[in-house]
Structure 1
Amino acid sequence: MTVPNVLLSGVVGSTAYGLAHEGSDIDRLGMFAAPTETLHGLHRPKESHVTTAPDSTLHEAAKWCRLALGGNPTAMELAWLPAELYEVRTPLGDELIGLRTSFLSAKRVRDAYLGYATQQFRRLENRDDGSFSADTRKRTAKHARHLKRLCHQGLELYATGRLTIRLENPQEFRDFGEQVAADAAAARPVMAHYEKAFDETRTALPDQPDEAAVEAWLLRVRAHFYASAPASSDAR
């Protein structure tokens, strides 16, 4: 897949967290700018391009901004990656990294991270305990790892206004995954712990994101990629 005007992209997912194992897929996430003139025609350009083998997702700049303003954990990673994981990094991409805290707000971060973690928790609770296949155990361990990671990273972001993508102790999360694979009920006290921690933690985040700063950046992107249509040959 070749997408023009990529502003920022890099390796995300398990590789970025430090949870990858032999045979893990390498996931890539990025952002591109649609040519500005295409936003004014009858048919708007695609807002996302997704491929598998390799696994890659590219969101148009405005869509990525909407996702990040909503606290979307997956989108948020792109602005907080360790430097060595970026594969494309343009001046406009660097500007975005520089204003990444403008996307943050307390309620949206809490709701998004705990919401995604709760989805993982429900998958674990709904696991078919009559199946002990290796595939079921593998999926269960993966869901459990990501449940704890989402809670851990979300609480850090909520409390400090910073997001650390690479986990300090990946083995802790791997061990938790195996515990839950053996007994899904092991996830319940961890989920309860983080729900209580969010309730008791004083947030460093504002009530609302700084949408004006985000809008100003997006308008700079539109101005940069604006190209006027060629004059008609019938013009007088």
Structure 2
Amino acid sequence: MSGTRWFGPVLALVAGWGFAVAAIAQPSLGSEGVAGQQHAPLTAAREAEHDRVRQEREVLNARRQRDESVCYRRFMVEDCLRGVRAQARDDEARLRVREIELNDAERKEKAAARLKSIEDKQRAVPQGVGTQGPVLRRALPEPKADKGLRDSQAAQRAEHQRSKLQQRSREQAARERAESERAARARVRHAQRLEAAQQRRERVAQSEAEAALQGRKRPAPLPAGSAVVSP
């Protein structure tokens, strides 16, 4: 009889523990499913934006190739190519910034989904089941603080990447301006040398023409003694 008296409460305790474990597991699956459904439209929009970036990059690459082929038919080939390539770098930097922003948004959404799942699991833990509930609550991080920190870090990374791309673009533009100025000065010096050489040729030709003209007008001198008449 004594065994029967304690067997009933033990069985009830085991059954209660089983129901509690089932209650913990079921909401976690449901919360993840709901989170996935909530983030599905955002994911689709982000993928569509990635596709637009890829398509725009293909269009810009095709335009760059077309513009470069036009440059090769012009007189100032190098200047034309530098302008086309500088524009291509600016376009690529703009697309890269958009990709970075999309990737940061994706990381933020995934972090928010994980935090939402953790919060749902915390709320699903029964307060009076053993001692694991309070221990689990103490072991989990503070969701709001972690989310704010991650958002701040992601924003700092994006800003740093944008600044680096802009600095790189400015440095490249400065190098191209300096190279263009050197090329322009070299062309001016070459034109000046050609003009000076042409002027020298003209002076020499003019001198030779004047000398030839003077030679035709001047009478030939008489031989010595030819002016003396014999008696």
TM-score exceeds 0.5: no
The structure carrying a bigger helix percent of its residues is 2
What TM-score do the two structures reach when normalised by structure 1? 0.26
TM value normalised by structure 2: 0.27
More strand by share: 1
